[in-house]
Amino acid sequence: MVKSDPLLLSEYKPKSELIVERTTLTGPKFPVIDIHGHFGPLVLGPDYANRYDTLKEVDKLKKLGVRNITNLEVLWGDELKQLLDKVAPAGDFIITFGAVDLTRLDEPDFGDYVERTLTESKNMGIKGIKLWKNISLGMKDKNGQHVPIDDPRLQVIFKFSAKLDLPILIHIADPVAFFRPIDQNNERWEELQGNPDWSFYGPQFFSFEELMAQQENMLAQNPETTFIIAHGGSYSENLGYVAECLDKYSNMYIDIAARISEFGRQPYTSRKFFTRYQDRILFGTDSGPSWYNHPIYYEFLETWNEYFDYSSSKVPPQGRWKIYGIGLDDEVLEKVYNKNAVKLLKL
Ligand SMILES: [Zn+2]
């Protein structure tokens, strides 16, 4: 027997020898509404308008079985208008969300500003409000203090969105591993090694537990506001906790964007979770022009396939594991794919 040389983790790319039946899908079983897409500067950068052809993107998405996709951007005023013009050729296919300028948080007329801006944006055509993780994971006020997501100054946004009947899609935390030390015990060590700025470990940040407490306060204090908590309700590593929150707060919904690696590594728990909370879960991918990965989501939700890659990268980017399909029943699947979104977005 020959013992091989030590190997660097970065060079280790094992190929699975498992041979097992795998169902191939040609598309989703029901039309899909993707509640988590990006067609503006947030992901594509300031030059976004030159980076894609709107009608070509619509065509690609239709071929993937998508009937609508949202456009979650943190824009208002002229910049929102430019974005809406860019996606206008898509008609109602691309559904844009808007936001407010939070650098004005400490201005005495912030409340009036929020009401004016959101009213104006709704008149321009936005169907929801996007609040991004830059608030809870970095933003500071004029005194240099972090702004918790349950900060009283933000209440005007929550209250007024309810008045305008616009849901808020909010990204609050990141994977729990990003809040832990980057060491040999971190399950996402490789990802953090490649993206050290994704680490939120340390006293300069809110802890993950603090963020969850703030998230619950926000939900409890604003029962009239509809919140779609992005990325599996912020805590897809702990669906028992998310389930408790869904039980407590009837204004809480979640999307599954960028979290099939989490849902898919706990297929028994996930299947029960999706079935029990079938009215509260929305399909989403966190994709945009040139990186649509819908088929892997369809495979996860619809099939009983075992031990497959959640990404096309040789080293799985969100942890070194594989996933399993959860074979959802048609009734549940249709709600997750489109019915829940039709209801929340009033399509
Ligand atoms: Zn996103």
Taking the alpha carbons of 257, 259, 264, 269 in that order, is the dihedral positive or negative? negative
Distance 328 CA to ligand 1 centre (A): 25
Describe the strand order of the beta sheet including 32-34 as a list of residue ranges. 32-34, 66-72, 94-98, 128-131, 168-170, 227-229, 252-255, 281-282
- Contact (Cβ atoms closer than 8 angstroms) between residue 154 and residue 118: no
Centre of ligand 1 from the C-alpha of residue 15, in Å: 30
The answer, yes or no, to whether residue 301 has pLDDT greater than 80, is yes
pLDDT of residue 314: 84
What is the 109 CA–ligand 1 centroid distance (Å)?
30
- Predicted confidence (pLDDT) per residue in 267-295, tens digit: 999 999 999 999 999 999 999 997 899 99
- Residues making up the chain, counted from first to last: 347
> Is a pLDDT exceeding 80 seen at residue 43?
yes
Q: Which of 125, 118, 109 is nearest to 168 (CA)?
A: 118
Buried b / exposed e along 134-146 (16+ C-beta atoms within 10 A): ebbbebeeeeeeb
CA–centroid distance, residue 241 to ligand 1 (Å): 22
How far is ligand 1, taken at its centre, from the CA of residue 334, in Å? 23
**Within a 13 Å sphere around the CA of 176, how many CA atoms are in the beta-carbon half?**
13
Ligand 1 centre to CA of 169 (Å) is 10
pLDDT of residue 265: 98
| DSSP codes, 142-196 | TTS-B--TT-GGGHHHHHHHHHTT--EEE-----GGGGS-SSTT-TTHHHHHH-G
Residue 170 Cα to ligand 1 midpoint, Å, equals 9
In angstroms, the CA 316 to CA 199 distance is: 18
Measured in Å, residue 192 CA sits from the centre of ligand 1 at 18
Q: How far is the CA of 256 from the centre of ligand 1 (A)?
A: 11
Tokens of residue 215, six digits: 């998230």
CA of 156 to the centre of ligand 1 (A): 23
Distance 254 CA to ligand 1 centre (A): 13
Ligand 1 centroid to Cα of residue 93, in Å, is 18
| Ligand 1 center from residue 117 Cα (angstroms) | 22
pLDDT digits (tens, 9 = 90+) for 247-258: 999 999 999 999
How far CA 174 is from CA of 33, 97, 144, 186, 305, in Å, comes to: 23, 21, 22, 14, 28
CA 194 vs. chain centroid, Å, equals 21
CA–centroid distance, residue 333 to ligand 1 (Å)? 22
Distance from the alpha carbon of residue 285 to the mean position of ligand 1, in angstroms: 8
Q: How far is the centre of ligand 1, averaged over its atoms, from the C-alpha of 292 (Å)?
A: 13
Give per-residue burial for 199-209: e unless 16+ CB within 10 Å, then b: bbbeeebbebe
**To which residue do tokens 């008609």 refer?**
91
Distance 75 CA to ligand 1 centre (A): 14
Q: How far is the CA of 307 from the centre of ligand 1 (A)?
A: 26
60 vs 56: CA distance, rounded Å: 6
Report the Cα 93 to chain-centroid distance in Å. Answer: 19
Name the phi and psi angles at 340, rounded to 5.
-65, -40
CB 32 within 8 A of CB 338: yes
The encoded tokens of residue 234 equal 């912020």
CA–centroid distance, 5 to ligand 1, in Å, is 41
CA of 16 to the centre of ligand 1 (A): 31
User: How far, in Å, from the CA of 288 to the mean position of ligand 1?
Assistant: 9
- pLDDT tens per residue across span 49-67: 999 999 999 999 999 999 9
What are the boundaries of each domain within the chain? 16-345
Q: Which two tokens stand for residue 132?
A: 């991004």
What is the pLDDT, as a whole number, of residue 136? 82
**In angstroms, what is the span from residue 36 Cα to ligand 1's centroid?**
6
Strand partners, 255: 282
Centre of ligand 1 from the C-alpha of residue 222, in Å: 23
CATH-assigned architecture of domain 16-345: Alpha-Beta Barrel (3.20)
pLDDT at residue 1 tops 70: no
From ligand 1's centre to the CA of 290, what distance in Å?
15
With contact defined as beta carbons under 8 Å apart, do 288 and 43 qualify? yes
Instruction: Report the SS3 class of residue 230.
Output: helix
Per-residue pLDDT, 134: 84
Q: Does residue 330 carry a pLDDT above 90?
A: yes
Residues contacting residue 346 through CB under 8 Å, at least 6 positions apart: 127, 165
Distance CA 242, CA 297 (A): 20
As given in the structure block, the two tokens for residue 52 are: 């894609």
Residue-level pLDDT at 115: 98
Q: Are 307 and 250 in contact (CB under 8 A)?
A: no
Query: Which DSSP string corresponds to 116-155?
Result: HHHHHHHHHT--EEEE-TTTTTT-B-TTS-B--TT-GGGH
Rama region for 249: left / alpha / beta (φ>0; ψ in -120 to 50; rest): beta
- Tens-place pLDDT, residues 114-137: 999 999 999 999 999 999 888 888
